[in-house]
Amino acid sequence: MKRLSIFVSGGGTNLQRIAEYFADNKEVEIVNVICNNPNAYAIERAKNLGIPCKIINRAEFKSENFTKELLEQNIDLVVLAGFLWLLPKYLIDAFPNKIVNIHPALLPKYGGKGFYGEHVHEAVVAAKEKVSGITIHYVNECYDSGAIIFQAQVALEEGETADSLAAKIHKLEYQHYPVVIEELVRN
């Protein structure tokens, strides 16, 4: 059995999709959800899915005890699904190539601190890009700079808005992130 921990900060739509994808899979278990935002709707989603959710503050998150807890739970893969905090080095070191993130753009473009959610889509539209997409990558100590695992792209149409692009990107996320996670835990 492969054990996942999913880190979230917001609405939790990717959490929902990942949980639904693995619901009948006897080889993958979502052990917990870690949330850094006590007002995030992802907490309600986790509750509705029957997944334990831990709400953490910044001091607790940066504590080595947090990393120790994850190690004690025998987590095989940490999945960032809209988690906005930079991970401490000892957490990354404790899970080498076992922490993944999904970014709503084709890295290395439109990545780094401050580039998340609507900020990414607004920048892509403002730059009049022809394509955008998703990047699933390993996490290192810098925002959005870990080794790329997978990318998928979508064309921007005439008159594309940040909202319409976000809808296209969400479809790519829901389609590909669970599949890539499954491939990673199989290897």
Q: What is the pLDDT of residue 187?
A: 77
Find the radius of gyration of the CA atoms of the chain.
16
Q: Where are the domains of the chain?
A: 2-186
Q: Which residues in the chain show pLDDT less than 50? A: none
103 labelled catalytic: yes
Tell me the whole-structure pTM to 2 decimals: 0.95
Q: Which residue has the tokens 């992802």?
A: 42
Q: Which of 103, 119, 137, 176 is flagged as catalytic?
A: 103
Q: What is the pLDDT of residue 55?
A: 97
Amino acid type, 18: I
Amino acid type, 117: G
% the chain with pLDDT above 70: 100
Q: What is the pLDDT of residue 160?
A: 96
CATH for 2-186 (3.20.20.70, 3.40.50.10860, 1.10.357.10, 3.40.50.170): 3.40.50.170
